[in-house]
A and B are shown apart, each in its own frame.
Chain A
Amino acid sequence: MILAYFRSLAARFFRRSQTENDLEEELRSHIQLRADDLERFGLGRAEAERRARIEFGGEARFKEECREAIAGNFIDVLFQDLRFSLRMLRKSPGFAVVAILTIALGIGATTAIFSVLDATLLEPLPYPQSEQLVSIQDNFPGVGAQDVGLSEPEWQDFQLSGIFEYVSPTWFDENNLTGSSQPARVRLLIVAPNYFALLGRATKIGTRFRSARSLTGVHS
């Protein structure tokens, strides 16, 4: 039943050019027949056809009205289709539930993916001149190793290369925070002291690092 409906919908779509040709030919045949009659009254062929066309009236307008008459009023057809689909859905509630869930999941997944893409790729990062922020990744293509991380001398090399204003390593970690009444699990980002200068932002609370502490081998 549903399949038959889709087939008729497709047919309505593809047969449009056929009905359009029919319409064209029918109106042309009318004008020819009228011109034949006028010719019989003693007009020349060209004049007869011209008169026939004038008598017919606004061809484009009538063609448009014919198309409407063939297809039915657009709103009427739309409501017919809507009523039909509601009836079909009510007839098979299982199918209706599956269809609605599929659409809901589809919309949900698409929205979620778009939100992530929008936040990570489309929206600029909330830092001044955020377009100048880049991520450096060190690969060893010879052995097929990706993102192997930087050694400290390598980091210093980048820092001194003059290519970048600031270079800071970042390292995600998790650890336990003790010393208060309740220990807590905290997530850390281990960075160089120039990290906030790199981002161009101040810390929300607390103080920034003092750069003296970035000296190699110095622990505080």
Chain B
Amino acid sequence: MDYQAELLPGTLDLLILKAVSIGPLHGYGVLLRIAQISGRALLIQQGALYPALFRLVRQGLLTTSWDKSENNRRAKFYELTSKGRKRLREETDGWNRLVAAIASALAAQPQET
């Protein structure tokens, strides 16, 4: 079995925004999309997705609508609002800066004096 990393706190919201930025998805679809775009490297407990989705809706970053799934089941679909799109851009920039900073810190070599 492949090694799956636990999510860092706060990163689930970012991953959800990224997943639905490609197109409207129902909750289960969000999980599949995250698995797909992360190369199945991230471990998310399925139920834990929903509180995060509801939080993002409450913050006005996602809108919802009931629709038919690809195999004809009724499901609630999530879509990015313009506020959500803006937040995704900001969070992506913030994340990239953080990763770059940590990577450069970890890459530092001991200096001989």
Residues of A within 8 A of B (CB): 22, 25-27, 29-30, 32-34, 36, 55-59, 61-62, 65-66, 68-70, 72
Rounded to whole angstroms, the CA-CA distance of A70 and B50 in the bound complex is: 10
Chain B residues, CB < 8 A from A70: 54, 58
Is B83 interfacial (CB 8 A cutoff)? no
Is B87 interfacial (CB 8 A cutoff)? no
Q: Which size bracket describes the interface of B in this complex?
A: 10 to 19
Chain A residues, CB < 8 A from B74: 25, 29
* Residue in A closest to B27 when the chains form the complex, CB atoms: A30
Residues of B within 8 A of A (CB): 26-28, 45-48, 50-52, 54-55, 58, 69, 71, 73-76
Chain A residues, CB < 8 A from B47: 27, 56-59, 61-62
Chain A residues, CB < 8 A from B28: 29-30, 33-34
Interface majority SS (helix, strand, loop, mixed), chain A? helix
Q: How far is the CB of A32 from chain B (nearest CB, A)?
A: 6
Can you list 15 A-B contacts (CB < 8 A)?
Answer: A26-B76, A30-B26, A30-B27, A30-B28, A33-B71, A34-B46, A36-B73, A57-B46, A59-B47, A61-B47, A62-B47, A62-B48, A66-B50, A69-B58, A70-B54
Contacts A26-B76, A62-B51, A66-B51 known; A36 to B46 CB distance under 8 Å? no
Contacts A22-B76, A70-B58 known; A27 to B50 CB distance under 8 Å? yes
Chain A residues, CB < 8 A from B58: 69-70, 72
Rounded to whole angstroms, the CA-CA distance of A22 and B57 in the bound complex is: 14
Interface centre among B48, B54, B75 (most CB of A within 10 A): B54
